[in-house]
Copies of this chain bind each other. A is one copy, B any other.
Amino acid sequence: MVSPVGVPVATLKRLPLYLKLIKEASSRGLAWISSEDLAQKLGLGAIQVRKDLSGLGIVGSPRRGFPVEDASRAIAACLGGDNSSDLFLVGAGELGRAILADRGIGLQGFNLVAVFDRTPERYYGLGLDVMPLSKMGDLAARMGVRMAVLAAGHEWAQEGADAIVAAGLAAALDLSGLPAIFPPEIAVSRVNLGADLAYLSGLIGPGRAAAR
């Protein structure tokens, strides 16, 4: 599959990681960064990094690597700049509040501009302005928001998803673990720690405790 701009999905998923490291290099005053360096830090192959960057039209220079500023600009442009960096949070429970507090969970430049919940009244007096799901469409239109993080509990995750759809948003990051069902015209990325763990458990197989 190929994204609207012609970048392979697999590449697109890696771009944010490159961007992060490149910005870091930039902030340390470096002007160049090598594919080897990026690869090693991300546990990827250097050739793959080069292919990815070259696919964006970023050209490096032998013996030095890739120019940090150009690369940063090109990747940011491909990821939509900071165009879509405003987000809604749907779900103000345990998980939602951890995301808001954001100690290590790393929304990295994305901005939670409003919080919605099925039962907003439960959160009065917590210093949070939690709104009912029904207000989402209105606010999305007024603020130009196009993405949401769905952090609803299992009981109402689907209801939250439906609200996101009804609000006309274009993308959702689903942390509900259900997973919630979205219509195909909405871009969805799902995060499910339980599933990831199960996957890892399958990967390492039924051995006994690791040696060493």
Seen from chain A, the residues whose Cβ lies within 8 Å of a Cβ on chain B are 3-5, 7, 9, 12-13, 15-17, 19-20, 40-43, 78-81, 83-85, 87, 91, 93-99, 101-110, 140-141, 144-147, 149, 151-154, 157, 168-173, 175-177, 179, 181-182, 184-189, 191-212
> Which B residues are CB-close (under 8 A) to A173?
193, 196-197, 200
Q: Does the CB pair B43–A108 fall under 8 Å?
A: no
Contact yes or no, A106 B192, CB < 8 A: yes
Chain B: CB-nearest residue to A81? B206
Is A198 in contact with B15, judged by CB distance below 8 angstroms? Answer: yes
- For A149, the chain B residues whose CB sits under 8 A away are 193, 197
Question: Inside 8 A of A191's CB, which chain B residues have their CB?
Answer: 191, 193, 196
Contact for A204 among B84, B108, B110, B201, CB less than 8 A = B84
Oligomeric state, in number of copies?
2
| Nearest B residue (CB) for A42 | B179
CB < 8 Å neighbour of A98 from B95, B179, B187, B197: B95
**With contacts A194-B16, A209-B144 known, is A204 near B171, CB below 8 A?**
yes
Considering the complex, give the chain B residue whose CB is closest to the CB of A212: B168
User: Given A171-B204, A210-B170 in contact, is the A107-B197 Cβ separation under 8 Å?
Assistant: yes
Asked whether B106 lies within 8 Å of A199 as measured between CB atoms, the reply is: no
A105 in contact with B177 given A43-B184, A204-B187 (CB within 8 Å): yes
